[in-house]
Amino acid sequence: MKLRWAVAVVATAAFGAVPALAAPVLHQDAYGPTVSKIAFTSQADGQADIYTMNAAGKNLFNVSHDKTIGARSDVQPVWSPSGAAVAFERQHVTGGADLMVVNADGSNLRPLTLSPLPGIWNCHPSWADDSTVYFTSNRDGNFDLFSVSSKGTAVRQLTKTTAPVQNLGPAVSPDGKTIAFYRTGAPLGGNGIFLLSMTTGRLTHVTADWNGATYFDPTWSPSGAQIAYASNLMGSNDIWTLDLLNTSARPAPVRVTLSKYSDVHPAYAPDGRTLAFVSNRTGYTEIYTTPLLGSAVVHPVTQLTFDKAFKADPSWHLVTIGPS
């Protein structure tokens, strides 16, 4: 299987001046003080692990480091709704992948799925609430959408397709009622981003590949009113947003990044006003942020990471850091 998170690195001139980074802001909720944190994949130590950092790109912490170095790669992290844990995909060098869960402090690393056979891929977790995780898997012979309890029980299949059609990259809405995902392998016009209603089972096709473009990496805004995704509609991979509330007169998608490089893996900030994403615009895959300012302006870009190690899959959340 070709790794979805792999991003081609292109030799380019160094990115320009970087704006000053704001200090992380502490918030207060019913459970105690919280801080805005980004989980992501990095090979900073030579092994693909899951790291966290604050919204200023500081205080890096490896949450998935264990004794299995060299036998696996950890990718595609997603925060639990409470911010207490991170689910991620552990790819085995012998083939296949399983979902894992680890506490935000790096403790209690445990499997969420165990591949029944070699070569089974359980990929791209998305956490609906603290009891259900959605993912894609080829355990039935083709990539379809599934759910599993956060205890690793009650696996349920949600879609059923046949090769070459594949359903990938599920992202559940904040209210847990809708899954956004992308489809590949269908005849022209049948691929792109879909919405699956968890109450009715209805499929809605929101972006289609009539022009040959690809659409992938959907993610929800915190309000559930919008999705962001990556597409090569204009030639290179860029980040786009699409409002979903007005289905009868849906506005056109908004192109958020405009570069000749590859901008992928969008993630909304907890307040919904900023997107993190991965780009190779310096010649290395680094994490950037950009404010959502509408379609009539050029969105400024801030670089958060600079170590030149491979990175992918940011996930942004407010994480509780102590008791109230």
For residue 31, the model assigns a pLDDT of 41
For residue 248, the model assigns a pLDDT of 67
121 CB contacts (<8 Å, ≥6 apart)? 1, 96, 97, 115, 137, 138, 143
* Residue 176: how many other CB atoms lie within 10 Å: 17
For residue 14, the model assigns a pLDDT of 26
For residue 116, the model assigns a pLDDT of 72
Structure tokens at 245: 């509330």
In 19-71 the beta strands, taken as DSSP E runs, fall at 26-29, 32-42, 49-54, 61-62
Compute the distance between CA of residue 96 and CA of residue 124 in angstroms, rounded to an integer. Answer: 13
Domains annotated for the chain, with CATH where assigned, are: 26-320 (2.120.10.30)
For residue 237, the model assigns a pLDDT of 97
Compute the distance between CA of residue 265 and CA of residue 303 in angstroms, rounded to an integer. Answer: 15
Compute the distance between CA of residue 178 and CA of residue 192 in angstroms, rounded to an integer. Answer: 16
What pLDDT tens digit does each residue of the chain (324 aa) get?
434 333 222 222 222 222 233 333 434 334 447 789 999 999 999 999 999 999 999 999 999 999 998 999 999 999 999 999 999 999 999 999 999 999 999 999 999 998 777 789 999 999 988 899 999 999 999 999 999 999 999 999 999 999 999 999 999 999 999 999 999 999 999 999 999 999 999 999 999 998 889 999 999 999 999 999 999 999 999 999 999 987 666 778 999 999 899 999 999 999 999 999 999 999 999 999 999 987 666 789 999 999 999 999 999 999 876 543
